[in-house]
Amino acid sequence: MNREQLTISSVRHYLSGNLSPHYQGRELNAIIRIILSHISGKDHAFILAHPEHEIPSFTWFKVNKICDDLKNMVPVQYITGVTEFYGIELKVTEHTLIPRQETEELVGLIIKENRNTSPVILDIGTGSGCIAISLAVNIDGAQISATDRADEIIAVATDNSNKNSVEINFMVDDILNPCINKYGKYDLVVCNPPYIRESEKLNMEKNVLDFEPHQALFVPDDDPLLFYRAALVLCSTVLKKDGYLYFEINETMGKEMTDLLINFGYHDIKIINDINGKARITKSRKA
pLDDT tens track, the chain, 287 positions? 655 679 999 999 999 999 999 999 999 999 999 999 999 999 999 999 999 999 998 899 999 999 999 999 999 999 999 999 999 999 999 999 999 999 999 999 999 999 999 999 999 999 999 999 999 999 999 999 999 999 999 999 999 999 999 999 999 999 999 999 999 999 999 999 999 999 999 889 989 999 999 999 999 999 999 999 999 999 999 999 999 999 999 999 999 999 999 999 999 999 999 999 999 999 999 99
pTM of the model: 0.94
- d(Cα 84, Cα 89) in Å, to the nearest integer? 5
Decide the pairing of beta strands 196-197 and 279-286: unpaired
Q: What is the pLDDT of residue 218?
A: 96
pLDDT, residue 2, reads 59
Residue environment code for 251-275, b if the CB has 16+ CB neighbours within 10 A, otherwise e: eebbeebbebbeebebeebebeebe
Strands 239-248, 279-286: pairing kind: antiparallel
Domain 95-286, what fold?
Answer: Rossmann fold (3.40.50)
Length of the chain: 287
Per domain, the residue ranges of the chain are 8-72, 95-286
d(Cα 133, Cα 143) in Å, to the nearest integer? Answer: 11
